[in-house]
Structure 1
Amino acid sequence: MVRSSSENDSSVEEIQSLSDLFDGLFKTVNIVVYLRRQDRLAVSLYSTALRVGWTHSNVLPKAGAARSHYYNFQQLLERWSSVFGEDHVTVRLFERAQFASGSLYADFLQACGWPELVGQLEESPAHNEALSTVGALALLAINQAVARFVGEEERVVGRRVRLEMADRLTQRYPSGKPTITKAQAQSFLAAFTASNAEVERRWFGGQPVFGTDFSDYPDELETVSLPWDVLTTVSETVVRYILEVQAKKQETIQPALLRIAQQQASADSTLRQVARVLDTVEPRLATRLSRIAVQIKGRPGIDN
């Protein structure tokens, strides 16, 4: 027997591939699915998105097929049930107050039928803790600034710098979190009323499970200004980010330039090769070198 979990945007084809992977290896496969009320899930995912470079200030995703595919729990459970069977899908709520022993780790082990393992295995430390309001605003500012002058690859290179800043600011300013208004949360959740009712009917015996408590949301969002020391930290992070990216580029181009220098190539050919290497680092210089290579090609007195 094996228990499995996966991201909730998996397609039927991807789920079937997982089933095929287990085929013949286990007698039964049971799936444990954790559901979090859609508005709270969206707020949590926004913090995660900021950590990987998200540049948009909208906490809630726009309406459309992608949002429906990810947040429609009825469709989610039907996809998994269509492959593994409804009897092999266990549905739990991602609500700390309802976790066994107050721990997701313990709750999962109990859902798997292994309560004896609770406390016997080392629990992994929490990752991707929710950003504070200040941390989220600062990280959004960094992401937007960085996106203006670097590409996707460079954002990955500098990810560590951004995350260190976010963690430091969240520790310094722990209160608050990226949020939405009460009306926005209610409107977002209302879009899934019918599908949530079907989930409650089929997997929870008709008992309401998602609740209608919106007291953790404000009626209106407050205007938050970044403190002066945060602006200083943001500025320092931008500088560190640029240095990190440039250092990574230097690691890439230096071996290439050394190889070119060791070749017995003509002057114009050498310049063209150097221009190609420098194109991603200093595009204007690369363009000038390419033009010079064209100009000197064939000129008398120049080694060609």
Structure 2
Amino acid sequence: MKVICHIGHPKTASTFLQNTCAQNAGWLRGHGILYPDMLVPDVNHISLLYACANYISVFARDYGIESLEEAREFGTKLSAHLRRQIDEANGEIHTVLLSSENLTANISGPQGVQNLADFLSEIFDEVRILVYLRRQDDALLSMYGEYMRRGFGGMTFDSFVDEALGNTVMVPYIFHRRILEFWNESFGRDRVTVRIFDRDELVGQDILTDFFDVVFSGNPPDMSQLRRSANDNTGLSAPALEFLRQMHPFISYHWNGKPNPLRQRLQGRIETLPVEPRARLSREQSERIMARFSSANEWVRTTYFPDKPAPLFPPRRREDPTSNLGQITISEFAQFTGHMLL
């Protein structure tokens, strides 16, 4: 039995892919692929993180996991649950498909990756890892938007970048070489498939087409009957991000060490703030970020894409070289405040 474990990265349409797989579980089953239930009420197989990470995630406590010993017991339960689903398929499947971006965002170092390798190798004869890499300037901009949307911080974008570049834990998946070395060591370089999350690099210029090109080993079936999930993870506009940054002291995610009930009540309104104009980096911001990763990205290119011209992520041609981050008019501030309250 073969397993393909898609590990993200975050902000590379992982939620869209997971929702589409779950909504088309019957279609996949008809082509020999099982997208299993993994003991969580979510199509993201985050339970793999709970079972294999070398620490206790705050979300794992919702499943009664308070210690590493209990995490290993949960892993045994999860393994049995997965085996049961494979057995119930009665030989109709040849591949299990797993997906969780938390395996790159949160698994936290080589021991967690090795724990996952051990978990999978006990069940499957063949293990394949799939990961999508996003250029670091886009990834940081996207994650900054997530921080503002969720109320995790009130930093300016430049301060956010400074902290992220100096801290491999804050946004770990921008450190492509570091993460890939962990996975190569535990699974072997030949078992790790790396794709570039860029429309021009994707098969058919489409993430779903590219994803199934990997899953079906370059020979995907007719996808005309496939129901695509809505891609509803669109980021907020640049003025909306600045509004949330300035409002952070009053509606932060945490309050006195606990989730802020006020933020929770307002989250639905926050989600419907405008999405245009899109946030945009300046040429200087983009070049600064990409220069930080130039040598590491060159390692990725020579290791996984030796026939691809350097650099791994070419400079962007921008019609407007300026940024629109950190800008909001009084009128926009009043409009967003009314939207939150009415």
Per-residue deviation, 1:86:
0.5
Matched residue type, 2:272: D
* 1:26 paired residue number: 124
Decide whether the 8 Å contact of 1:44 with 1:130 is kept in 2: yes
Deviations 1:13-38 (A, max 9, x none): 11112222212321111111111111
| In 2, Cα distance between equivalents of 1:84 and 1:148 | 37
Percent identity of equivalent pairs: 22
2:299 to 198, 201, 204: 198
* CA distance 1:61–1:81, change in 2 (3 Å): same
| In 2, Cα distance between equivalents of 1:19 and 1:148 | 34
User: Relative contact order: is structure 1 or structure 2 higher (C-alpha 8 Å, sep ≥ 6)?
Assistant: 2
| In 1, Cα distance between equivalents of 2:320 and 2:247 | 26
* 1:126 paired residue number: 231
Per-residue deviation, 1:57:
1.7
Matched residue type, 1:128: N
* 2:156 paired residue number: 57
Query: Root-mean-square deviation (CA), in Å?
Result: 2.8
Q: Partner of 1:29: helix, strand, or coil?
A: strand
| In 2, Cα distance between equivalents of 1:181 and 1:48 | 19
| In 2, Cα distance between equivalents of 1:217 and 1:76 | 33
TM-score between the two structures when normalised by the length of structure 1:
0.68
| In 2, Cα distance between equivalents of 1:148 and 1:52 | 7
1:233 matched to 2:336? The reply is yes
Q: Partner of 1:147: helix, strand, or coil?
A: coil
* 2:272 paired residue number: 167
Max Rg structure: 1
1:84 matched to 2:187? The reply is yes
Dislocated runs of 4+, deviation >6 Å: none
| In 2, Cα distance between equivalents of 1:102 and 1:16 | 33
1:184 matched to 2:282? The reply is no
Q: Partner of 1:31: helix, strand, or coil?
A: strand
1:93 matched to 2:196? The reply is yes
* 2:244 paired residue number: 139
| In 2, Cα distance between equivalents of 1:148 and 1:47 | 14
Matched residue type, 1:195: A
Decide whether the 8 Å contact of 2:131 with 2:194 is kept in 1: yes
1:37 matched to 2:37? The reply is no
TM-score between the two structures when normalised by the length of structure 2:
0.61
| In 1, Cα distance between equivalents of 2:284 and 2:251 | 33
Decide whether the 8 Å contact of 1:169 with 1:230 is kept in 2: no
Decide whether the 8 Å contact of 1:38 with 1:189 is kept in 2: yes
Per-residue deviation, 1:166:
4.0
Which one has a larger percent helix, Structure 1 or Structure 2? 1
Question: Number of residues paired by the alignment?
Answer: 235
Decide whether the 8 Å contact of 1:185 with 1:214 is kept in 2: no
Deviations 1:221-260 (A, max 9, x none): 57733353642432563x58xxxxxxxxxxxxxxxxxxxx
Decide whether the 8 Å contact of 1:138 with 1:226 is kept in 2: no
Per-residue deviation, 1:46:
1.0
Matched residue type, 2:278: G
* CA distance 1:219–1:159, change in 2 (3 Å): same
Deviations 1:146-193 (A, max 9, x none): 2399345343663362343342322xxx2231x332112111111111
